[in-house]
Amino acid sequence: MALDTLFQEGIEAIVPKLEACRVGEGPSLSMEIYTGGERRLRNPHVVRYGETQTRIISGLYPGDPAPAAQGKNGSILWKKSI
C-alpha cells in the first residue's frame, strides 16, 4: 500500500493514506478500505477477546463440551458438562 501510494500520489501522501486504512485502534491496515471496496462501509469496531461470548464457541477445542443439538432459530444448544 505504501509503495503504491508513493508511486501514485507521492511521498507526502503515504502516511495520511495508510492512516485512513487503519482498522480500529491497532496497527492493522485494511486492503478493502484501501481499494475502496464495499466492506469499508461496515462498522469499524474491532472485537476484543473480552467481548466474545465464549460459551457460543466452546466445543472447538479438545476437552470442551460438544453441541447437543441445534435450536429452531439456528442457535446451538449445548450439553451441560458434569
Q: Is the pLDDT of residue 2 over 70?
A: yes
Q: For the chain, how many structural domains are there in total?
A: 1
pLDDT band at 15 (very low <50, low <70, confident <90, very high): very high
pLDDT at 48 (0 to 100): 76
For residues 45 and 38, the answer to whether their CB atoms sit within 8 Å is no
Q: Which residue bears the cell 471496496? A: 37
pLDDT at 82 (0 to 100): 47
Q: pLDDT (tens digit, 9 = 90+) per residue, 19-51?
A: 998 887 778 888 888 888 887 777 777 777 777
Provide the residue range defining the domain that includes 23. Answer: 1-77
Q: pLDDT (tens digit, 9 = 90+) per residue, 48-73?
A: 777 776 666 555 566 655 555 556 66
Assigned domain for 82 exists: no
